[in-house]
C-alpha cells in the first residue's frame, strides 16, 4: 500500500482567464497572470491511498463521494499514468482519494485551481513522477496550471492546437515583492449558480466584448502587468488589476443570458475602495473578483491594519456574512437574499 498527502494553495488572477479555444485540452483564448497565495491560508489538501485491496477508484471532496468518470478527472489520471514507468507494480492498483478545502468550494475563490493542482501533484508523488505537471493540472481546471508554481505566474495561452505551448511560467518568485498582501472578503460562501466552466462557455458563444478583450486588450495589458510586477510599481499594478476585474465582469454581463457573479455587497466594496483611494490621494488598495461575489484585495503590508479597520467599520464583521446568516445590517443584502436564493 502507498499513501501520499499533498497541499496546494489557491492563486488569485490579476489578469483573468475567461474563455477556452479547446474545451477538452483546456486551452485559453488569452494569457492570464496571478499570484499564488502562501500555504498557510487557503489550500486544498489531498490524500491518496493506492492499494491492491481497493476494488474501485473512489474520490471524496469535502466528505462527499464524487463521480470518477468525469472527463477532467479521467484526463488528469490518464496523462499522469502516461509518464509512469509501465513496469511499476502498483500502476494497476485502485486509488482512494480524499480532498478537503479549508475555504469555500465553488464560491469564486479558486477552489478548482487549488483542488486540481493538489490532485495532480499528489498523483505525481504516488507514482514517483518528476517533471513539469502544470499542463496536466491545466486539464483538470485551467487556473490550476498556475497554482503549481509559487510567486507571480503567467499562463501563456500558446497558439498550437495540441496545447504543447499553453504553459504556466513563473514571472517572479514569492520573495520578489515581500510587502504584497491579499485580503479575502467572504461576501457569500455558497456555491455559485453557474460554474466558471459553464459561464465562460456561454461567454465564448455569445459575447462580442470577450472577443475584443482577448484580441485587443489582454495582450497589451499582460505586458504592462508584467512590467508593473517586475518594477514593484503598485500604482500601475493596482489600476490594471481593477480594470481587468471590471472588464471580466463586463464580459459576464455581455454574455447572453448574462452571468451575474457580483452582488450588491461586491459593488459596495468596489465603490468603497475607489472612495478610500481617492480620499487618501493615492492608490492604497486594489480589488479583484473571480467568478463569484467574494472580494480579493491586493495591498501592501503597511496599509493592511488601516484597511482592515476601515472594512470592519463599514461592514461590521457580522454584516459581510449576513448574506448567509440572514443578518440585516446592509439593506441591499436582504435584496440579494430575495433575488438569488
Ligand atoms: P471556483 O471558483 O471555486 O474555482 P469552479 O466553478 O471553477 O469554482 O470549480 C469548482 C469545482 O472544482 C468543484 O465543483 C469541483 O469539481 C472542483 N474542485 C474544487 N475543489 C477541489 C478539490 N479540492 N479537489 C478536486 N476538485 C476540486
Ligand atoms: C474567473 O479555471 O475555474 O477565476 O478551466 O473551466 O475549470 P475551468 O475554469 P477555471 O476559471 C477561472 C476563472 C477566473 C479567472 C482566473 O482564475 O484566471
Ligand atoms: Co475555478
Nearest ligand to the C-alpha atom of residue 32: 2
Say if residue 102's pLDDT is above 50.
yes
Task: Please report which confidence band the pLDDT of residue 322 belongs to, taking 50, 70 and 90 as the band edges.
Answer: very low
Q: Tell me which DSSP letter residue 255 carries.
A: S
| Residue 105 beta carbon below 6 angstroms from any ligand 2 atom | no
Say if residue 293's pLDDT is above 90.
yes
Task: Report the DSSP beta bridge partners of residue 8.
Answer: 44
Q: How far apart are CA 91 and CA 267, in angstroms?
A: 50
Q: What is the atom index within ligand 2 of the atom nearest the CA of 144?
A: 2
Percent of the chain with pLDDT over 70: 93
Average pLDDT, the chain: 92
CA of 142 to the centre of ligand 2 (A): 6
Higher pLDDT, 57 or 340: 57
Task: Please report which confidence band the pLDDT of residue 325 belongs to, taking 50, 70 and 90 as the band edges.
Answer: very low
Q: How far apart are CA 100 and CA 116, in angstroms?
A: 12
**Mean pLDDT value of segment 223-237:** 98
Kind and range of the H or E element at 106? none
Q: What is the atom index within ligand 1 of the atom nearest the CA of 110?
A: 4
Residue with cell 498557510: 40
Q: Is there a cis peptide before residue 257, judged by omega within 30 degrees of 0? A: yes
What nine digits make up the cell of 57?
A: 477508484
**Mean pLDDT value of segment 277-304:** 97
Question: What is the ipTM for the molecules in this complex?
Answer: 0.99
Left, alpha or beta for 326 (phi > 0: left; psi -120 to 50: alpha)? left
User: Which range, of 216-220, 247-251, 326-330, averages the lowest pLDDT?
Assistant: 326-330
**Mean pLDDT value of segment 9-17:** 98
Burial of 175 (0-12, 13-18, 19+ CB in 10 A): exposed
Q: What is the 3-state secondary structure (H, E, C) of 135-193?
A: HHHHCCCCCHHHHCCCEEEEEECCCCCCCCCCEEEEEECCCCCCCEEEEEECCCCCCCC
Say if residue 179's pLDDT is above 90.
yes
Nearest ligand to the C-alpha atom of residue 292: 1
> How do the domains of the chain map onto residue ranges?
2-337
Backbone angles phi, psi at 256, to 5 degrees: -130, 115
- 46, 10 in Cβ contact below 8 A? no
- 96, 126 in Cβ contact below 8 A? no
In the prediction, which pLDDT does 91 show? 94
| Residue 32 beta carbon below 6 angstroms from any ligand 2 atom | yes
CATH of domain 2-337: 3.30.230.10
Task: Please report which confidence band the pLDDT of residue 330 belongs to, taking 50, 70 and 90 as the band edges.
Answer: very low
Say if residue 81's pLDDT is above 90.
yes
In the prediction, which pLDDT does 40 show? 84
Say if residue 39's pLDDT is above 70.
yes
Say if residue 250's pLDDT is above 70.
yes
Say if residue 321's pLDDT is above 70.
no
Task: Please report which confidence band the pLDDT of residue 317 belongs to, taking 50, 70 and 90 as the band edges.
Answer: confident
Say if residue 246's pLDDT is above 50.
yes
Task: Please report which confidence band the pLDDT of residue 297 belongs to, taking 50, 70 and 90 as the band edges.
Answer: very high
Q: What is the pTM of this model?
A: 0.93
Q: How far is CA 8 from CA 5, 110, 190, 220, in A?
A: 10, 11, 22, 30
CA of 108 to the centre of ligand 3 (A): 7
| Residue 12 beta carbon below 6 angstroms from any ligand 2 atom | no
At 195, is the secondary structure helix, strand, or coil? coil
Contacts of 26 (CB under 8 A, 6+ apart): 20, 138, 139, 141, 142, 163
Q: Burial code of 147-171, b = ≥16 C-beta within 10 A, e = fewer? A: bbbbbbbbbebbeeeebeebbbebb
In the prediction, which pLDDT does 135 show? 96
Rounded-to-5 percentages of helix, strand, coil across the chain: 40, 20, 35
Amino acid at each position: 500500500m502507498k499513501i501520499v498527502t499533498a497541499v496546494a494553495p489557491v492563486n488569485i488572477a490579476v489578469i483573468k482567464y475567461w474563455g477556452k479555444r479547446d474545451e477538452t485540452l483546456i486551452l485559453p483564448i488569452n494569457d492570464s497572470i496571478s499570484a499564488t497565495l502562501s500555504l498557510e491560508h487557503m489550500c486544498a489538501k489531498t490524500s491518496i491511498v493506492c492499494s491492491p485491496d481497493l476494488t474501485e477508484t473512489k474520490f471524496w471532496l469535502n466528505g462527499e463521494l464524487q463521480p470518477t468518470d468525469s472527463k477532467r478527472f479521467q484526463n488528469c489520471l490518464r496523462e499522469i499514468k502516461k509518464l509512469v514507468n509501465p513496469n511499476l507494480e502498483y500502476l494497476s492498483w485502485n486509488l482512494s482519494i480524499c480532498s478537503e478545502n479549508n475555504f469555500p468550494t465553488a464560491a469564486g475563490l479558486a477552489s478548482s485551481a487549488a483542488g486540481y493542482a493538489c490532485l495532480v501533484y499528489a498523483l505525481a508523488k504516488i507514482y514517483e513522477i518528476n517533471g513539469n505537471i502544470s499542463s496536466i493540472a491545466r486539464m483538470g481546471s485551467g487556473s490550476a496550471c498556475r497554482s503549481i508554481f509559487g510567486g507571480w505566474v503567467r499562463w501563456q495561452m500558446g497558439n498550437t492546437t495540441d496545447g504543447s505551448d499553453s504553459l504556466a511560467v513563473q514571472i517572479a518568485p514569492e520573495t520578489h515583492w515581500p510587502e504584497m498582501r491579499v485580503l479575502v472578503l467572504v461576501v457569500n460562501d455558497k456555491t455559485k449558480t453557474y460554474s466558471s466552466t459553464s459561464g465562460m462557455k456561454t461567454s465564448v458563444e455569445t459575447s462580442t466584448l470577450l472577443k475584443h478583450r482577448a484580441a485587443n486588450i489582454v495582450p497589451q495589458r499582460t505586458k504592462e502587468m508584467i512590467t508593473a510586477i517586475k518594477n514593484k510599481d503598485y500604482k500601475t499594478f493596482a489600476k490594471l488589476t481593477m480594470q481587468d476585474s471590471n472588464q471580466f465582469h463586463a464580459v459576464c454581463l455581455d454574455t447572453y443570458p448574462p452571468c451575474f457573479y457580483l452582488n450588491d455587497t461586491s459593488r459596495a466594496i468596489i465603490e468603497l475602495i475607489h472612495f478610500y483611494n481617492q480620499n487618501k490621494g493615492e492608490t492604497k488598495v486594489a480589488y479583484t473578483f473571480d467568478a463569484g461575489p467574494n472580494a480579493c484585495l491586493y495591498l501592501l503590508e503597511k496599509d493592511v491594519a488601516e484597511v482592515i479597520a476601515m472594512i470592519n467599520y463599514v461592514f461590521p464583521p457580522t454584516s459581510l456574512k449576513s448574506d448567509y446568516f440572514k443578518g440585516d445590517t446592509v439593506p441591499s443584502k436582504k435584496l440579494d437574499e430575495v433575488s438569488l436564493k
